[in-house]
């Protein structure tokens, strides 16, 4: 009996020594494009369910302050990955920022016109004679001319009112303007949450469809850590696929981090974001695949309407090399 008591702890110690220490996780930072909302719920789901840990990654999520800012922090190496819209990626990379999209989440633009149902704006021509809030310099306002040209709108007949981005929803609800240019996956639902009855009109349906939000990293980081990038994207794809199957679970994960957010509004945002994922050219392609046609269309629009200047092809700004095969 004494011999058995001695052997049991000895065997246990030997087992621990043979198994060795657990492999260290790669510490990774991931900067969002904006403050947390429905779009970010899948990432929280992936962290809380351990999808990133399963890939050997200890992930830290950080809120953002706009796509352009995120591109800059990733290019500078302050963050390993980020979420940014394609226009910020192309415009800043064309000016020397070391950044590239490695996964397309929104193949379609979430930008559009938001009005209240009682205003009677149902189509582009209905904007003529109305007051519309814009914000100088933002991506949405700069793409409005592409929408107007394609839709055959006489822009001179629209009264454009300069309003800070944070004040546009309030201006619409107070009826100081008849419409705003905004995000159909966020401001639309904010109007609804505050008691309005919003109507949305997509830029994407009227000739101004650019690639939306993407996952970005720096070329330097990707070249140094190709396997890590692949593992990160694999976990990200799984997180989104599970969120698509069960949006409520994704919102639960988001609310664990931000319990102050409104569940109904955030779920509406996530469901809208899911609707912007699929590319018309992406049949049979894995989640997150960057379609050449989508990026070429985006480059054409940005060249004409946002003063993109580059001698590089559209393919220089994105890559499918690190994408999961399934």
- For position 16, what pLDDT does the model report? 42
> In tens digits, what is the pLDDT along the chain, a chain of 326 residues?
444 444 445 444 444 444 445 679 999 999 999 999 999 999 999 999 999 999 999 999 999 988 999 999 999 999 999 999 999 999 999 999 999 999 999 999 999 999 999 999 999 999 999 999 998 777 788 889 999 999 999 999 999 999 988 899 999 999 999 999 999 999 999 999 999 999 999 999 998 999 999 999 999 999 999 999 999 999 999 999 999 999 999 999 999 999 999 999 999 999 999 999 999 887 889 999 999 999 999 999 999 999 999 999 999 999 999 998 86
- Phi and psi (nearest 5°) for 24? -70, 140
- Residue ranges covered by each domain of the chain: 26-107+211-317, 111-206
- For position 326, what pLDDT does the model report? 66
The closest alpha carbon to 188, from 110, 100, 134, belongs to 110
Topology of domain 111-206, CATH? D-Maltodextrin-Binding Protein; domain 2 (3.40.190)
Torsion of CA 256, 258, 261, 266, to 10 degrees: -70
Q: SS3 helix, strand, coil % of the chain, rounded to 5? A: 50, 15, 35
**Beta strand residue intervals within the chain, DSSP E:** 26-31, 57-62, 81-85, 100-104, 111-116, 131-134, 159-162, 179-183, 198-202, 213-217
Asked if residue 70 lies in contact with residue 31, where contact means CB atoms within 8 angstroms, the answer is: yes
**Beta strand residue intervals within 78-229, DSSP E:** 81-85, 100-104, 111-116, 131-134, 159-162, 179-183, 198-202, 213-217
The total of other beta-carbon atoms located within 10 Å of residue 53's CB is 14
C-alpha 212/C-alpha 109 separation (Å) is 5
> Which pTM does this prediction carry?
0.89
The total of other beta-carbon atoms located within 10 Å of residue 7's CB is 10
Domains 26-107+211-317 and 111-206 share a fold: yes
DSSP state of 1: -
Helices H / strands E in the chain, number of each: 13, 10
Instruction: Looking at the structure, give the CATH architecture of the domain made up of residues 26-107+211-317.
Output: 3-Layer(aba) Sandwich (3.40)
- For position 46, what pLDDT does the model report? 98
């Amino acid at each position: 009996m004494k011999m058995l008591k001695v052997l049991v702890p000895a065997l246990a110690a030997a087992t621990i020594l043979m198994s060795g220490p657990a492999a260290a996780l790669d510490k990774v930072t991931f900067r969002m494009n904006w403050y947390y909302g429905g779009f970010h719920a899948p990432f929280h789901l992936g962290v809380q369910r351990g999808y990133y840990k399963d890939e050997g990654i200890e992930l830290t999520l950080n809120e953002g302050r706009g796509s352009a800012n995120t591109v800059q922090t990733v290019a500078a190496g302050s963050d390993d990955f980020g979420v940014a819209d394609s226009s910020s990626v192309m415009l800043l990379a064309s000016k020397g920022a070391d950044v590239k999209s490695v996964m397309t989440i929104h193949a379609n633009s979430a930008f559009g016109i938001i009005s209240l149902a009682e205003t009677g704006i149902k189509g582009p021509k209905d904007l003529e004679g109305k007051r519309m809030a814009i914000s100088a310099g933002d991506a949405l306002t700069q793409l409005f001319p592409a929408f107007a040209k394609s839709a055959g709108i006489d822009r001179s007949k629209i009264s454009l009112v300069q309003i800070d981005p944070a004040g546009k929803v309030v201006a619409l609800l107070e009826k100081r303007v008849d419409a705003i240019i905004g995000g159909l996956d966020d401001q639309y639902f904010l109007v609804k949450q505050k008691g309005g009855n919003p109507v949305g009109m997509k830029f994407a349906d009227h000739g101004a469809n650019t690639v939306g939000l993407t996952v970005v990293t720096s070329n330097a980081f990707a070249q140094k850590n190709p396997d890590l990038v692949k593992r990160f994207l694999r976990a990200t794809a799984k997180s989104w696929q599970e969120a698509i199957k069960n949006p409520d679970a994704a919102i639960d994960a988001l609310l664990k981090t931000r319990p102050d957010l409104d569940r109904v509004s955030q779920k509406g945002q996530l469901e809208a974001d899911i609707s912007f994922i699929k590319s018309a050219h992406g049949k049979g392609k894995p989640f997150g695949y960057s379609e050449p046609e989508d990026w070429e269309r985006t480059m054409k629009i940005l060249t004409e309407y946002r003063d993109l200047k580059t001698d590089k092809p559209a393919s220089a700004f994105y890559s499918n090399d690190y994408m999961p095969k399934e």
